[in-house]
Amino acid sequence: MRSDEMIKSSQRLTRRAAVMLLSAAGACTAAHAADIATDALPEPGPERKVSIPAARDATLPNGLRVVVVNRSVTPLVSVALYLRSGAEVDPSRLAGLTDLTAGLLDKGTTTRTAPQIAEAADALGGSLGTGAGYDASQVSISVTTPKLGAALDLLADVVRHPTFAQEEIDRERKQMLDDLRLALSQPGSVAHLVAARAIYGDGAYGHSAGGTPASLPRIQRAAIVKLHDTYYRPDNAVLVFAGDVDLEHAVQVATSAFGDWKAPATPLPVTPAGAGKSVLAPAVSVDISGTGQAAVSAVHRGITRNDKDYYAGLVTNAVLGGSYSARLNEEIRIKRGLSYSAGSALDTRRQAGSFGGSAQTKNSSAVEVLGLLLGEFDRLATAAPDADELAARKATLSGNFGFRLETTRGLLGEVADLALYGLPLDELARYLERVQAISAEQVRDFAKAHLGRDGIQVIVAGDAKQFADALAKAYPKLERLDAATLDLDNPTLRPASKKK
Amino acid sequence: MLRRLLICLGLTTAVAVSAHAAEPLSIPPIAYQQRSLANGLQVISIEDHTSPTVAVQVWYHVGSKDDPAGRSGFAHLFEHLMFKSTKHLKAEQFDRLTEDVGGHNNASTNDDFTNYYEAVPSNHLQRLLWAEAERMVNLTVNEDNFKSERAVVEEELRQRVLASPYGRLFNAVPKDAYLVHPYKRPGIGSIEDLEAASLSDVIAFHSTYYRPDYATLIVSGDFDRAELDRWVDTYFGPLPKPAAPVPHVTAVEPAWDKDRRYSEHGPNVPLPGIVLAWLAPAARNADDVALSVAAALLSNGDSSRLHQALVYRQQIAQRVNFSSDTQADNGLISTFAIMASGHKPEEAEAAIIAEVKALATAPIAPAELDKIKTKIITQALAQRQTAEGKAFAIGEAVLLKGDAATVNSDLAALQAVSADDVQRVLKKYVLDAHHVTIDYTLGLDKPGDAKPAKGATK
């Protein structure tokens, strides 16, 4: 009985599917969709336009910029205060200082203890998130609309009045050291830490933002207080709101919480150079003895966030490895089963950036996967993608952008990115047209400029006895490191006392 | 990243489906409509025109607990194969119908269910309904697809279990904890069992479990109701309801009659870890919501009791979590800690038990209970911002609790949870019950090799 009905149902499906395949040959682009007959699988209906909310801003008299993007679908607001200074300002022997400082903000103020702050945030329904990337430090919280005023007061208290008690410094430092131990035991995070030195060398972006086992114990309270005094000031800050709030309401709560925050008369120090010179060999292996996979990564110095080619970079990344269907995953996972996931990343910062691909694979496949990564870089740098592929990957990029705008946190992230890099807020509304405007030739040219063999850095972290010798055949100057003895403070990654 | 296995073990906080509004805060109920087709397919729809997108999800009532004998990991491997060819679709054509037009897709395998979910611009809804109906009945995986995807799943296993420092520990928990229930088998399986699987297993599994009367279709977002109903009737209506009954897992996990203790090891354990687990009631049990509140009091947020005690005050743990992962049959109430450097697993064990005892016996301040309810509600509200988030909330209610209505009634239940309820369920399921202790340290045992530690059982 089942089989009879199966046949029936599949006959029904056959008719539609035959056309389905036709449309697939046209890769579902709008241009081909018109070929579909009306009695077949219907073509997609008319597109509905995504509505992009407009961001607005105001600057308080003390220099604090307030940026607001309204989305009132749900009575929720996400809010974050960003300082335009991140780990790039860590002094040279004090890696992790900026991140540690941010992490200590909610660990005690002049009027609240750390447990009281946690209690207050939880009672508002949110959690304070603190931390520092390379270009910014931040504190954020998401709450329901009625709690917004109270959330801003809490946010202002931790930003403006932290006490940095010694006991809290010691506790936070210990936790960061343990976080580092976890990071140094995982192939992906080890490759990431090593890649920073490989790309940026002794530049500020080359060091570990989360600190190092040697640097964290060196950090004294005075350095934390000085960093806070220097960089936590209203004219170095942006307060971003996303969700059920308008500009007027945001300015009102911002003024109440931050209005009397004063900027010091002293100018901000000059930011150290982000990108320096790499002293590592073009290929590096890092041993994590006994680990079950190797993280394979090939990366290049890249563009800044404000580069004119930013959108070309986004689309190139989308074609190369920005999604499940992009080339790297297609070649490495789908066709060959060599990884659970392979992809690429375009990282754009204020002073420099990086572009490259990565995948985790069984240790014995590491060299094969590296070859596939590099082969795809070359292919993209040589020939422009065809129109269907380009249209599909642009659609993925644009669709993901739309989905990000559906949550207050996603919306906040998009707007904060513009605000932090000093870009016009109406770029939010221009995103889709800017992506559409990128041509196949621009993609090829971007790949040629930023994925060429010259300047590429290869990092393979895993159980090195299973791949390092094979890797050395392709890279006779392979640099062999061990995760257990990595000196992250040193651009050579080797302990200073030992000769290379 | 993609097509991921949902490992239902503690790493996520225990908020899940239950949610609700205390006095000042109210979440509107999710307004859904439900109907059944003659072939048994349940259809649930939630209209939401906020964005021009729509989420389509098919939740099959088959999960890792249904892995065939000697084929651990099979339900999950099978999930991956549902993206391969069907009679009228090429391999990966689902990606063409979703990613290539600005949507996304994924799927996950849980102990109790397997869900396939997409979100697309709403003008593509009709095609997705067609395609989901197609793969429900017309899967045609070939040997090449099968082998390459099996290799992907083996890499997924390596990534989750072998390359992740705590992967071996979390993989071992159900195996050590359950006595008889097939929840015992790790959903990701083993390389040996995956290698033993064949194409004929795939065909048998599909025809046994992938059928309209064993599936729930959820559509959430921007659609026209009349159109949706018509398309569902057109594409899913004709699918046959097989005459053969679906085999169900009948094993019943007995109450545990003694405490048990295991030691697990890995070659790459930067800090030792520990898991304690108790047997939880089924998700549909009336105590479920109170248990989720108890778990949240213990570990949801920086001010939660375990975080304050172990991470902040005593500084013996790098992180700690407590969750009540109730499932269709039963589940585990479990807690894990990764130790701070220089501290041993047994310190966490004693400290966790002390905190649970304190919560279960000393008075709970009303403000603390209010705090945690506000926290859970706010997290639920964040999940329900998107049409896809609402669909997930409904899906879990249907698959784990057997009733979509619980997505809303649990809100009322949460509001009504009292301090007495919290203490009663903690005593019943935790303090007065037996548990399993698993410590995890550096060592060279192979995964899956756990042996009861000497003299530890009572």
Q: Which amino acid is at A352?
A: A
* A181 vs B contacts (CB less than 8 Å): 270-271, 341
Residue B46 belongs to domain spanning: 33-235
For residue B122, what is the DSSP state?
G
Same domain, B333 and B370: yes
Q: Does B185 touch chain A (CB under 8 A)?
A: no
Which residues contact residue B101 at a Cβ distance below 8 angstroms, ignoring those fewer than 6 apart? A28, A44, A392, A395, A399, B120, B121, B124
Please indicate, yes or no, if residue B25 is contained in any of the structural domains: no
* A396 vs B contacts (CB less than 8 Å): 99-100, 102, 104
- For chain A, helix (H) and strand (E) counts, in that order, are 18, 12
Residue A332: the pLDDT is 97
Same domain, B186 and B317: no
Beta bridge partners of A208: none
* A47 vs B contacts (CB less than 8 Å): 52, 121, 123
A4 → chain B, closest CA residue? B240
Residue A86: the pLDDT is 98
A30 → chain B, closest CA residue? B101
Q: Does A103 touch chain B (CB under 8 A)?
A: no
Using the beta-carbon criterion (under 8 Å), do A122 and B303 form an inter-chain contact? yes
Same domain, B222 and B297: no
Q: Looking at A161-238, list the stretches that DSSP marks H as alpha helix, in order from N- to C-terminal side.
A: 166-183, 187-200, 215-218, 221-231
Using the beta-carbon criterion (under 8 Å), do B301 and A118 form an inter-chain contact? yes
Q: How far apart are CA A36 and CA B231, in angstroms?
A: 18
Q: Does A39 touch chain B (CB under 8 A)?
A: no
Q: Is residue B57 classed as helix, strand or coil in its secondary structure?
A: strand
pTM of the model: 0.91
Residue B338: the pLDDT is 97
* B271 vs A contacts (CB less than 8 Å): 178, 181-182
In the numeric block, which tokens belong to residue B44? 């649930």
Residue A420 · residue A135 · CB < 8 Å: yes
Write out residues in chain B with pLDDT < 70, as ranges: 1-25, 445-458
* A124 vs B contacts (CB less than 8 Å): 374
Structural domain count of chain B: 2
Using the beta-carbon criterion (under 8 Å), do A186 and B163 form an inter-chain contact? yes
Q: Does A217 touch chain B (CB under 8 A)?
A: no
Select from 1.20.1560.10, 1.10.1040.10, 3.40.50.300, 3.30.830.10 the CATH code of A55-258.
3.30.830.10
Same domain, B267 and B326: yes
Write out residues in chain A with pLDDT < 50, as ranges: 1-40, 498-500
Q: How far apart are CA B79 and CA B117, in angstroms?
A: 12
Same domain, B127 and B178: yes
Nearest in space to A148 (alpha carbons), one of A408, A399, A380: A408
pLDDT in tens, B226-269: 999 999 999 999 999 999 999 999 999 999 999 999 999 998 89
Residue B413 · residue A107 · CB < 8 Å: no
Q: Is B312 left (phi over 0), alpha (psi -120 to 50) or beta?
A: alpha
* A122 vs B contacts (CB less than 8 Å): 300-304, 371-372, 374-375
Using the beta-carbon criterion (under 8 Å), do A289 and B267 form an inter-chain contact? yes
Q: How far apart are CA B443 and CA A187, in angstroms?
A: 19
Cα atoms in the Cβ-side hemisphere of radius 13 Å centred on B284: 10
Q: How far apart are CA A285 and CA A459, in angstroms?
A: 6
Residue A154 · residue A141 · CB < 8 Å: yes
Q: Does B308 touch chain A (CB under 8 A)?
A: yes
Same domain, B229 and B264: no
A55-258 and A283-485 share one fold: yes
CATH for A283-485 is 3.30.830.10
Q: How far apart are CA A131 and CA A338, in angstroms?
A: 35
Residue A11: the pLDDT is 25
Strands A129-132 and A294-302: unpaired
* B152 vs A contacts (CB less than 8 Å): 333, 337, 339-340
- Closest-CA distance of chain A to residue B79, Å: 14
Q: How far apart are CA A409 and CA A80, in angstroms?
A: 10
**B243: exposed, middle or buried (Cβ count in 10 Å: 0-12, 13-18, 19+):** exposed
Same domain, B140 and B51: yes
pLDDT in tens, A478-492: 999 999 999 999 999
- Sorted by where each begins, the domain ranges of chain A are 1-46, 55-258, 283-485
Using the beta-carbon criterion (under 8 Å), do B137 and A10 form an inter-chain contact? yes
Listing DSSP states for B304-360 in one string gives SHHIIIIIIIS--EEEEEEEEEE-SS-EEEEEEEEEPTT--HHHHHHHHHHHHHHHH
Please indicate, yes or no, if residue B9 is contained in any of the structural domains: no
Neighbours of B49 (CB within 10 A): 13
∠ at Cα B354 (B350, B357), nearest 5°?
Answer: 140
